[in-house]
Amino acid sequence: MLAYMGFPAPHRAQLCSTNPLERLNKEIKRRSDVVGIFPNEAAITRLVGALLLEQNDEWATTRRYMSLETLGTVSDTPIVSLPGVGA
C-alpha cells in the first residue's frame, strides 16, 4: 500500500488520485448523453475511442501527468527522449 512513497514527492499526489479517470468518465457520459441512442455497438466504440485518443494527445503534448525527467530518478534505465514532444 505504501509503494507510492518510493516515487518522487511531486508525483505522490497524482499516484493516489483518481481525478483524471473520474474526469474522463464524466466526459464520456456527457458526450454519450448528447447522442442519446446509439444505432449499434460500433458507434459507441468510435465515440469512446475518439475521446480516449483526444485525451491521450492532450496529456502527451500539453498536460504531462508525470515528467520523464522526474521519473528518471526512480528508474535504473536512462531517460528516453520522445521526438516531437515538448520541443
Domain count, the chain: 1
Query: CA 32, CA 44: separation in Å to the nearest integer?
Result: 8
Judge whether 24 lies within some domain.
no
Q: Is 3 exposed, middle or buried (0-12, 13-18, 19+ CB in 10 A)?
A: exposed
- Does residue 12 fall inside a structural domain? no
pLDDT at position 45 is 92
Which residue range forms the structural domain that includes residue 50?
Answer: 37-62
Query: What is the DSSP-derived secondary structure letter of residue 2?
Result: -
Tell whether pTM > 0.75: no
In a domain, 55, yes or no: yes
Q: Is residue 6 part of a domain?
A: no
DSSP letters for 70-83: HHGGG-SSPP-PPT
Among residues 73, 72, 65, 63, the alpha carbon closest in space to that of 15 is found at 65
Euclidean distance between the first and the last CA atom of the chain, given in angstroms as a whole number: 37
pLDDT tens, position by position, 4-40: 667 777 666 666 667 778 888 999 899 888 888 888 9
